[in-house]
Amino acid sequence: MSFPQYNNVAIVGLARDEAPEAMASADIEAALAGPMKRLKLPRGLLAALTGITRRRLYPLDCRPSQAAAAAAEKLFAATGLDRERIDLLYSTSVGRDHIEPSTASIVQHRLGLGGRVKSLDIGSACLGFIDGLELAAMSIEAGRAALALVVAGENSRPILETTLKTLSAPDVTRELFFRHFATLTLGSGGAAMVLGRREEFPENPRLIGSVSRSDAFSNHLCRGDADGMETDSTALMNAGVALAQETFTEGAERFGWTTASFQRLISHQVSAANTKKMCQTLGLDESLLVKTFPDYGNMGPAAVPFTLDVARERGLIRPGDRLALMGIGSGLCCSMMEVRW
Active site residue ranges: 100, 126
Report angle CA 335, 336, 340 to the nearest 5 degrees: 150
Quote the strand ranges of 60-132, DSSP E.
88-91, 118-121
Q: What gap in Å lies between CA 231 and CA 268, rounded to an integer? A: 17
**What are the C-alpha distances in Å from 97 to residues 18, 125, 162, 270?**
19, 15, 17, 24
Q: What gap in Å lies between CA 127 and CA 231, rounded to an integer? A: 17
Indicate the residue type of 112: G
Question: Cβ neighbours of residue 171 under 8 Å, at least 6 residues apart?
Answer: none
Q: What gap in Å lies between CA 251 and CA 139, rounded to an integer? A: 22
Question: Cβ neighbours of residue 100 under 8 Å, at least 6 residues apart?
Answer: none
Report angle CA 326, 138, 3 to the nearest 5 degrees: 55
